Amino acid sequence: MSLRIDENCINCDVCEPECPNGAIAMGPTIYVIDPDHCTECVGHYDTPQCREVCPVDCIDLDPEHRESPEQLREKFLHLTGQT
């Protein structure tokens, strides 16, 4: 699954630079994650780095963008030009 940032986001700015895919950006009121670019850090790290650094634990799985580990790996390969 892609990840999403919920309404508890405090706009602390720590998640955005940690995303290796550039999937995190400031939205109208809080940070948002682009599901087309989120791989949950598959291919880069063992765990999603945004979740590791978030001080308020406001980053959850996005049930609207379900993806298997294999699909996340394929997305990583596509985003990095390896396909």
pTM of the model: 0.93
Burial class (CB in 10 A: 0-12, 13-18, 19+), 31: buried
Lookup result for tokens 């939205």: 27
What are the chain's domains?
3-79 (3.30.70.20)
pLDDT in tens, 44-63: 999 999 999 999 999 999 99
pLDDT in tens, 59-83: 999 999 999 999 999 999 999 999 8
Residue 83 is predicted with a pLDDT of 81
Percentage of residues in the chain having pLDDT higher than 70? 100
Task: Give Cα 21 to chain centroid, integer Å.
Answer: 8
What DSSP letter does each residue of 22-54 carry, written as one string? Answer: --EEE-SSSEEE-TTT--TTTTT-SS-HHHHH-
In whole angstroms, what is the distance from residue 74 CA to residue 25 CA? 23
User: Does pLDDT of 1 surpass 80?
Assistant: no
